[in-house]
Amino acid sequence: MSPSRSKRSGNIAEVQPTSHGSMESLPVDHLEWVEAWGMADKAMSYVFRPSTVERLEKVFALARETGRKIGLKGGGNSYGDAFLNEEGITLDLSRMNRILEWDPETGIVKAEPGVTLANLWQYIVEDGWWPAVVSGTMNTTLGGCLGMNIHGKNAYQVGPFGNHVLDFEILLPSGKRVHVTRESDPDLFHGAISGIGMIGVFTWIRLKVKKVHSGRLRIWAKQARNFHEMVELFEENASSMDYMVGWSDCIARGRNSIGRGEMHFARQLPPGEDRYAAQSLRADRQALPDNIVGLIPKSISWKLMKPFVNDWGMWLINTAKFHAQKRPGAEKPYFQSHAEFHFLLDYVPNWKESYRPGGLIQYQSFVPREHAARVFTEQIRLSQQRGIYPYLGVTKKHIPDDFLLTHGVDGYSLALDYPVTAKNRRALWRLCHEMDELVLAAGGRFYLAKDSTMRKGTVARYLPRENFERFKALKQRCDPEGLLSTNMFRRVFGASPAPDEQLERHHKGVANSA
C-alpha cells in the first residue's frame, strides 16, 4: 500500500496523510538524531546509508510500505534544515562514492553522488584538472552540489555547478531509472539540478572539469571601505580575474564604513609560467597546513576561537583584520594552492563548534547589481539596530542561469553568519523576515542550501512564475505520491501554520529536542 497521491494545489508538498505507518514499522537501530550543519536545528530520523542502487530501491520500497517520507543527505553541509526529516527516513548517500570513469584527455568524469569535492580534485589534479565550480568546503558531495546547484568564487564567469553537468541518471520515487540530458528532458535536467533533492536520487553524474596548468593561483588582496566600493572593485576586475570574493566586517558602524572589508582576486597561471607545475599539481602539495602560523595545531584551534565568538570578540578580530590590510606591501600579489584559496571553511577543523550551544545560521541573499550595495548596507544597518550582529559577511558576483529553482541574478550575493542563542533566536528569525522584504522589493532571490528561516510563499514571490509552475508540474510528474520531503520542503513549499504560529512551533520543537 502506498501513500495517497498529492493534492493538485498550490502547496507542492501538500499530500494526503497515511494512517498505516508507525514509529515501530522501521528498525529502531536506524533511529538517530540528525543535526543541521549550522547546529541550530536537528531532527530524529531513520537513517539509511545504501552503497548500491539496488539498496536505494529497497529504501524507497520500505518508505512506501511504512508511509514514511524520504529526505536526501549528502555531505550534510547545508546550514539549515534542508536534509532534516523529522520522524521520516534520511537517505545518506555518502557510501555511494565511487569514481566510475575518468578521461584525462577530455576532462570528463563520471561518478556516483556520494563522491566529495575532495575525492574529485584529489583524483584529477595531478592530470592537470580542477572542478569547474567548488564550494567553500571540499566536503560537499556531487549529489549535493547538483541538488543545491552550488556556486563558487567564479560564479560571475561560469555560473553554477549545473552548467558543467553533461548528463546523469536519476532514480525516481516510482522506481524508474532515467538517463537525462539537457536535450532529452529539459525540465527534468533543470529541475533535478537545483531541485533540493525533491525530484529523485542521482545514481551517477557525468561532468566536465576545468584544465589548469599549475597547482598554484596568483592572488591579490585589496581593501574596500564599504559595499559600494566593493561592488565597484568587482566590476572593475571581473574581466581580468578568474575568481573574486569579498569579506566584510559587519560590526563596523558609520555611514561610510558599513560593509568595509577585504577582497581577494585570483588568476590562474598560464601554460609554462610555473616551471615546477608537475610538483605543484601533486595532491599532497594542495593539502591544507596542519598548523596555524606553524605553531598552533588546527585540531584545537576552535577551542581558542570560542572566547572570541561574541560581539566584542568579533569586533576586535574584524577590526584587526581590516587594519592589517593597511600594512606596507599588503596589496602585493602572492601565491596559494587551489585548495588553500577555495576551501577556507576547512582551514580550522570543527571551527563551528565554537558557536555552541546555540549554533549558527547563514542568511544569503542575491540582489541585482543596481540595488546590491544599497540592500546589503540596509541589511547590516537593520541587524545593528536590532542588536544582532552577523560575525561574517561574504560577497560574490553572479550571473543568471536556466535552472528551475534558480538563485542566480545579474548581481551579487551576501552571505551573513549569525550566532544563534536562546535569547536571540526568535528575534533573529524575525530579523531575517525583515531582510527578506528588503531583498524581495529589490527583485532579489535566496539560496535554499543555506536557508533556515524562510516562510511559506517566499519562493513563489522571488522565482519567475514560469519556473515555479514548471517545478510544481515536475514534482507532480516525478513524485506524485510526495514520497520525497524534508523539514525545509514542508516549511517553504507545503501546508503550514500562519507565520507567527509556525515560528513558535519551530522554536518549541528545537527547545524540546535539545
Which of 89-93, 348-352, 395-399, 502-506 is least confident?
502-506
Cβ pair 96, 51 in contact under 8 A? yes
pLDDT of residue 12: 58
Placement of cell 560564479 in the chain: 155
Euclidean distance between CA atoms 141 and 119, whole angstroms? 9
For residue 11, what pLDDT band results from cuts at 50, 70 and 90?
low
* 420 located within any domain: yes
Which residues constitute the domain of residue 242? 216-453
pLDDT of residue 4: 35
pLDDT of residue 61: 94
Q: How many Cα atoms occupy the beta-carbon half-sphere of 433 within 13 Å?
A: 15
* 508 located within any domain: no
Euclidean distance between CA atoms 242 and 152, whole angstroms? 11
* 338 located within any domain: yes
Euclidean distance between CA atoms 69 and 493, whole angstroms? 15
* 340 located within any domain: yes
Distances (CA, A) of 47 to 55, 100, 170, 311: 13, 26, 21, 37
Euclidean distance between CA atoms 213 and 267, whole angstroms? 12
How many domains in the chain? 1
Angle at 122 between CA 119 and CA 124, to 5 degrees: 105
Strand, coil or helix: what is 321?
helix
Euclidean distance between CA atoms 482 and 14, whole angstroms? 8
- pLDDT tens column, 417-455: 999 999 999 999 999 999 999 999 999 999 999 999 999
Cβ pair 452, 80 in contact under 8 A? yes
- pLDDT tens column, 57-72: 999 999 999 999 999 9
Cβ pair 45, 88 in contact under 8 A? yes
Provide the grid cell at 281. Answer: 599539481
Whether the pLDDT of residue 245 is over 90: the answer is yes
Strand, coil or helix: what is 88?
coil
Strand, coil or helix: what is 201?
strand
Q: Which residues contact 459 (CB under 8 A, 6 or more apart)?
A: 405, 446, 448, 468, 492, 493
Whether the pLDDT of residue 252 is over 50: the answer is yes
- pLDDT tens column, 161-179: 999 999 999 999 989 999 9
pLDDT of residue 139: 97
Euclidean distance between CA atoms 323 and 327, whole angstroms? 8
Euclidean distance between CA atoms 142 and 74, whole angstroms? 8
Would you call 101 exposed, middle or buried from its count of C-beta atoms within 10 A (0-12, 13-18, 19+)? exposed
**What CATH number is associated with residue 345?**
3.30.70.2520
Cβ pair 312, 104 in contact under 8 A? no
Contacts 24+ apart (CB under 8 A), 506-509: 506/429, 507/425, 507/426, 507/429, 509/86
- pLDDT tens column, 473-492: 999 999 999 999 999 999 99
Q: Which residues contact 465 (CB under 8 A, 6 or more apart)?
A: none
Whether the pLDDT of residue 330 is over 70: the answer is no
* 305 located within any domain: yes
Beta-strand (E) ranges in 172-233? 177-181, 201-208, 210-211, 216-224
Would you call 289 exposed, middle or buried from its count of C-beta atoms within 10 A (0-12, 13-18, 19+)? exposed
Average pLDDT for residues 185-214, to the nearest whole number?
98
Whole-model pTM? 0.91
Beta-strand (E) ranges in 338-422? 360-368, 392-398, 411-419
Q: Which residues contact 388 (CB under 8 A, 6 or more apart)?
A: 418, 424, 427, 428, 431
* 97 located within any domain: no
For residue 17, what pLDDT band results from cuts at 50, 70 and 90?
very low
Whether the pLDDT of residue 246 is over 70: the answer is yes
* 196 located within any domain: no
pLDDT of residue 289: 73
Average pLDDT for residues 182-208, to the nearest whole number?
98
Residue among 1, 6, 4 at smallest CA distance from 476: 6
Strand, coil or helix: what is 293?
coil
Q: Are strands 296-297 and 291-292 parallel, antiparallel or unpaired?
A: antiparallel
Q: Tell me the average pLDDT of the chain.
A: 91
pLDDT of residue 79: 97
Name the phi and psi angles at 457, rounded to 5. Answer: 100, -15
Strand, coil or helix: what is 433?
helix
pLDDT of residue 30: 95
Strand, coil or helix: what is 97?
coil
Buried b (16+ CB within 10 A) or exposed e, 382-415: ebbeeebbbbbbbbbbbbebbbbbbbbbebbbbb
Distances (CA, A) of 510 to 39, 315, 507: 11, 29, 5
Whether the pLDDT of residue 197 is over 70: the answer is yes
* 154 located within any domain: no
